[in-house]
Amino acid sequence: MRVIVTGGAGYIGSHVVRALQRAGHAPIVLDDLSTGHLALVERNGVELIQGDVGSRDVLEQAFTSHRPEAVIHLAGLALVGESVDDPAPYFAVNTVAGYTLLEAMRAHGVDRIVFSSTCAVYGVPEELPITERSPLEPVSPYGASKLAFERMLFAYARAYGLKALSLRFFNVAGADPDGDLGEMRHEETHLLPLLLRAARRRELFELFGTNYRTRDGSAERDYVHVVDIARAFVHALERLEVIDPLPFGGALNLGTGRGTTVREMIAATERELGCEIAVKTVPRRAGDPPALVADPSLSRKVLGFGARHDVATMIRSANRFLEAEIDRGADVFKSYLPGGSMPNPNGGSSRVRFGEAVVSAGILDEEVVAHALKIQRDRDGIGESHKLLGLILLEMGAISNDQLIGILKRINVR
């Protein structure tokens, strides 16, 4: 399908674009580059329509020129604290601009959309894990603006036959295994990048709140790998061909069903990087729920989706991307440079392993790769070799020759 991806120059958007490409679709990015990055678009090798998703003229040009069959809508503002201090832009971008997009879709006969929503629509949940039937009581303008657009989608679906799915994802982390897509922000607010920066700079990491009713007193979140999130968007887009989202409300949770506290994430980062992170405890931030953990069973049923990556993989891939960007001289990471250097968790090489790449690409399950690795160890008595593991998988009939060559090219093995 030809798919317009709004916000496709951003963190999640660039991964969704790559997942669409891997699945054989033809994405076109629509992004104003206010928070997105041209480099991420160029690394995916796709066309960019630079403009505001809330502009009728931009949308008219995009839909007329490219005649898309579907839209994946990720463009929006996403800082909870900022939305409390200045809510107007959040409703303008996340809600009003979304209305303009829907009207452009109607005018051009585009009837499929997958929307990036958020667990912030649930507010402070009374029970865990959170299901799609949990009360929708956002406590921030950010969550309220996303919920308003969700309700707009549902109304359009009932009245106009729009096929729409809202994906409410939880805490997204990690980076593409190739090391060329990841989180790039001048003002970072997400936990894992802040931990990586604190480790690299040998500076204090601020832990907000230590008296929550969780197992260690720190806030608990459901962390899901960005590659899994991107894969879910592709599944959702393709499933819209055969499902009717209206009976279950048109929204699905994307998470792992497992919570990780901030203290546990600190400890996991220390293990993966081989260093200690100094922690300074500070008071809670207003509006931060004690715990947000998804019940992903409905998304497994509807999409056949299940998260494949754990927290350790998120940390390794995020660090690999950070190391690669610093090597590339990225301006956005100059603030990471002062202080001691951070050890590489991959023993000196930031190159992704073949097995991890083939799983992340959605070609094979981890069990198949593990079996091939056992054959390799039994046969040759060595650790993972990119080319050798690929040849074993080829011999097993698990991958095609084209897939082998494609993965080797993506991880730059010569």
Strand partners, 116: 167
Distances (CA, A) of 281 to 206, 212, 285, 287, 338: 6, 13, 12, 17, 23
Q: Is 108 exposed, middle or buried (0-12, 13-18, 19+ CB in 10 A)?
A: middle
The answer to whether residue 142 is catalytic is yes
Q: Give dist(CA 301, CA 121) in Å, integer.
A: 22
Task: Produce one character per residue of 115-143: b if its CB has 16 or more CB atoms within 10 Å, e if not.
Answer: bbbbbbbbbebeebbbebebebebbbbbb
Upper half-sphere CA count for residue 127 (Cβ side, 13 Å): 6
C-beta of residue 42 within 8 angstroms of C-beta of residue 9: no
3-class SS of residue 27: strand
- Coil, strand, or helix at residue 383? coil
Q: How far apart are CA 182 and CA 56, in angstroms?
A: 30
* CA distance linking residue 411 with residue 353, whole number of Å: 8
Burial of residue 96 (CB within 10 Å: 0-12, 13-18, 19+) is middle
Cα-based torsion angle of the residue sequence 329, 332, 334, 339 in order, rounded to the nearest 10 degrees: -120
Q: In sequence order, what are the beta bridge partners of 261?
A: 220
Are the CB atoms for 206 and 266 separated by under 8 Å? Answer: no
The catalytic residue among 11, 90, 142, 156 is 142
φ and ψ of 128, to 5 deg: -125, 150
Q: Which residues of 369-387 are buried (b: 16+ CB within 10 A; e: fewer)?
A: bebbbeebeeeeeeeeebe
Q: How far apart are the first and last CA of the chain?
A: 32
Q: Which two tokens stand for residue 144?
A: 């309220």
Q: Which residues are catalytic?
A: 142
